[in-house]
Amino acid sequence: MGLKTISSWLQEQHGQLHMARWMLEFDDHEAEREFAGYDDVRGLNEGRFALGIGILFTTVYGVVDVLVLDRLVPEVALVRLAVVLLFLGALVVTGRAIWVARQLQLASALLLTATLLLLGTAMGQVADFPIEYLRTSCTVTLLGAVGLLRLRMHAVMAMTAVYIAVCLSLPGALGGVDTLARHVAPTLGLASIAVLIGYSLEKLRRTDYLRQQEVEMEQARSDELLHNVLPVTIAQRLRSEPGAIADSAPEVSVLFSDIVGFTPVSESLTPEELVQLLDTMFREFDELCERRGIEKIKTVGDAYMAVAGLPLPDADHAASLAELALDMQRTLTRLSPEWPSPIAMRIGIASGPVVAGVIGRRKFTYDLWGDTVNTASRMESHGRPHRIQVSASTHALLESRYAFSAPQTIEVKGKGPMTTYFLLGAS
């Protein structure tokens, strides 16, 4: 496999990841900014661990210094102490200085530059260390920083250049052709390894970040779909509570609506036209519910069901549904010219206790049960076109604020005679 083939493969791989080929920056500037912030936050947290490792290694190397030199050299000990104090100062500053969090790559590069100068240049000046020993110390420092400080490619390249400059400026590093070959080759080789490690680690972090973003986007889509089916609080409980979810609500109001003469109208329309008209109407009803904090329960054919006071309590649930019903009438009047023939709607409202919850394991929905639900359904089915019929319980909650027709007694299937009222509007 030639260099051209490798280059083409790299370009293809990075094209799929939407990254630059060498410096690994995302093509989208906003995505790059978000990744940099994400990466630096984690680098800030991991930096404390890296500094602790640095202090430990510096202390151990201080003991090794004595073994290499066969004696304790005060100047060497002072340089080691300076490195430890530098790391301790960085530990104190990390997480407290705002500019460090904002410019973590620059701060890390400055810290690493100072460390390499102390462990390489300064140590070479104060004692007669073997050049291989100093280069090893600088190499461990560079590789540790690349691996633990989450340096990105710009910082890795800059630090590699500093490493090469420090190693090649050590006493005796450039003292002739043989010496040059003996020291330049390993220095450049180790620098190349550091670049490859930094490149691989950053590419892995960026790939993981993209995968995490994809997972979060899929989770957001899943949540959105679930919240379109269930109330948010119920969806959250469904994830954590096994089995059926059931709640008793002592005071809510339930609304049913139905289009009068829908069947003959639907027969004169194509399926696409019918669905489009219903979709337009129900979308507007949904917006009205959302605006008033009312929970849409479901649609069945041309029927629409909603509840006020669930899943979040609403002390003024009857008034909320009364306003919704009046808004629905106005919406129907506005949309009626779009239908092939005039349409009318019956609306029924009842107030009282219900049981609400989610049952089943497949194609589940949030639903209501109880006498209040049955009564609201009967208020609609026994009502009249263009009218809002309410039960006596709803009337009792609204009579001081809304105008009603005179009471009437109707025979309701399964319930017998009931006193009902037609809501006329706000008084």
β pairing state of 344-358 and 245-260: antiparallel
pTM over 0.85: no
What would the DSSP string read from start to end of 298-337? EEETTEEEEEES-SS--TTHHHHHHHHHHHHHHHHHHHGG
Burial (CB count within 10 angstroms: exposed 0-12, middle 13-18, buried 19+), residue 123: buried
d(CA 381, CA 348): 8
Distance of CA 222 to the CA centre of its chain: 12
Q: Tokens representing 242? A: 């096994």
d(CA 372, CA 251): 10
Phi-psi region of 301 (alpha: psi -120 to 50; beta: other; left: phi over 0): left
Q: Which CATH number fits domain 242-426: 3.90.800.10, 3.30.70.1230, 3.30.1540.20, 3.40.50.450?
A: 3.30.70.1230
Q: Which residues of the chain, if any, have pLDDT below 50?
A: 1-3, 6-7, 9-16
Q: What confidence score (pLDDT) does residue 309 get?
A: 92
SS3 354: strand
Q: What confidence score (pLDDT) does residue 16 get?
A: 46
Q: Omega into 337 within 30° of 0, i.e. cis?
A: no
- Specify the length of the chain in residues: 427
- The residue with tokens 């790059």 is 32
Burial (CB count within 10 angstroms: exposed 0-12, middle 13-18, buried 19+), residue 392: middle
User: Would you kindly state where each structural domain of the chain is located, as residue ranges?
Assistant: 3-222, 242-426
Q: Tokens representing 401? A: 């604020």
Q: What confidence score (pLDDT) does residue 15 get?
A: 47
d(CA 118, CA 137): 11
Which helix (H) or strand (E) segment holds residue 388: the answer is: strand 388-391
d(CA 397, CA 321): 12
d(CA 323, CA 55): 69
Q: What is the chain's Cα-based Rg?
A: 37
d(CA 425, CA 404): 7
Q: What confidence score (pLDDT) does residue 177 get?
A: 65
Distance of CA 111 to the CA centre of its chain: 33
Q: What confidence score (pLDDT) does residue 195 get?
A: 93
Q: What confidence score (pLDDT) does residue 304 get?
A: 95
Residue 321 and residue 294 in contact, taking contact as beta carbons nearer than 8 Å: yes
